[in-house]
Chain A
Amino acid sequence: IAGITQAPTSQILAAGRRMTLRCTQDMRHNAMYWYRQDLGLGLRLIHYSNTAGTTGKGEVPDGYSVSRANTDDFPLTLASAVPSQTSVYFCASSPTGGPAGTWDTQYFGPGTRLTVL
C-alpha cells in the first residue's frame, strides 16, 4: 500500500441498506477525514479523527458514523442509506508534524462513488 486506499471504488446500494466505506493509510498520519463531494456544493466534511481513539463531527454528520480503532483505518458507515447520500466520498489524512503548514496538509484517497437507489 502506498498512501491512502479506499474501497469499494464504486457501489450501487438499495435505500435502507447498511454500508461501510473503507479507508486505510500507511503514512502513519494521526488525523483522518471523511468528505463528500457533490456538484455545486464542493467538499463537505462528514467526520474527522485527530488521533486513534477519537472522532468528531464535521459539517454534515447526520446518517453517518465513524470509528478509529487504530492509526491506519477509518471506516465510514451509513446505517440506513438514503438517496440523498448519493455522492462521491473521499477519505483524507494529515501528517503528525513537520515544518509549519505541512501538518495541516491533507492527502486524499481515490474516492468511492456511491449511488443509493
Chain B
Amino acid sequence: QKEVEQNSGPLSVPEGAIASLNCTYSDRGSQSFFWYRQYSGKSPELIMFIYSNGDKEDGRFTAQLNKASQYVSLLIRDSQPSDSATYLCAVKAGNNRKLIWGLGTSLAVNP
C-alpha cells in the first residue's frame, strides 16, 4: 500500500514568519511530487511540483525534496493571512497517471 503522510495540523504561524509543511511517502520509486493549496469550500490548486532532489523556488514558495529520506517539504516565506488554507501533498509512483494524496495540513497565519 503506497502511502503519503502529512501532519494534519493545524499549524499556526504569525504573519511574516516562515511556514514549514512536511510530507513523507512510502514508495521509494516515486517520481514526481506536488503541492496543492485548498481553501475551504474550494478545489485544490497547484502551487508547484518537484522531481529532482534539492530545492525549487517559486516566489515565496520553496519545495524541498530528499528522495533518500523519502520526504518533501514546502516552505512559505513571509507568510500572509491569505496563505491560511489546507496544503495537500501528492506523489506520482509507478507508470500510471495517478497521484497518491496525503490528507493535508491545515495552516493558519495569524495577523
Contacts and interface: CB of A to CB of B under 8 A. Distances in A.
Contacts of B32: 100-101, 104
A106 B97 CA distance: 9
B103 A48 contact: no
A47 to B, nearest CB: 11
Contact of B44 (A41, A45, A108): A108
Interface residues of B, number: 22
Contact of A109 (B43, B90, B96): B43
Contacts of B92: 104
Contacts, number: 51
A105 interface: yes
A71 interface: no
Interface stretch (B15-23, B46-54, B67-75): B46-54
B51 A42 contact: no
Contacts of A107: 46
Interface string A82-117: 000000001000100000111011111111000000
Interface residues of A, number: 23
Interface in B22-45: 31-32, 34, 42-45
Given A42-B88, A104-B97, A106-B34, 8 more contacts: A41-B103, A42-B103, A43-B44, A43-B88, A105-B49, A106-B90, A108-B45, A110-B42
Interface of B: 31-32, 34, 42-46, 49-51, 88, 90, 92, 96-99, 101-104
